[in-house]
């Protein structure tokens, strides 16, 4: 259990610290555009290449079914789905992923 916790902590650190490493000018980071959109729009990050590699991954929102959903969980779920829908509606065709852009 201790090893699993250490790996989870290291993974979280890598995912959250990566953009700041690039923003601070220490290095480059490979990441998901959707997670960097705010920093890209604000000019804190730049895309050095137009090439985007599609990922064959999915995300799942899960919760325990042992109890009724708490209001804050439902609020988060509603916010998340609304944000994703809005992001997909505001994305222009030119910003959609392309292997050979």
Q: pLDDT tens, position by position, for the chain (101 residues)? A: 566 565 555 555 555 666 777 888 877 877 777 778 888 899 988 888 888 888 777 777 888 888 888 899 899 999 988 888 887 777 655 444 444 43
CB 61 within 8 A of CB 77: yes
Whether pTM exceeds 0.85: no
**For 48, which DSSP code?**
S
Between CA 83 and CA 63, with CA 55 as vertex, the angle to 5 degrees is 50
Question: Which long-range CB contacts under 8 A does 48-56 form with residues at least 24 apart?
Answer: 50/98, 50/101, 51/98, 51/99, 51/100, 51/101, 52/97, 52/98, 52/99, 52/101, 53/97, 53/99, 54/97, 54/99
């Amino acid at each position: 259990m201790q090893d699993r916790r250490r790996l989870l902590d290291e993974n979280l650190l890598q995912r959250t610290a990566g953009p700041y490493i690039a923003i601070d000018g220490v290095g480059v980071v490979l990441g998901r555009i959707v997670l960097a959109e705010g920093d890209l729009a604000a000019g804190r990050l730049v895309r050095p290449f137009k090439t985007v590699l599609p990922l064959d991954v999915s995300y799942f929102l899960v919760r325990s079914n042992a109890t009724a959903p708490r209001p804050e969980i439902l609020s988060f779920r509603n916010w998340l789905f609304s944000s994703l829908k809005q992001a997909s509606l505001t994305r222009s065709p030119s910003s959609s992923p392309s292997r050979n852009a």
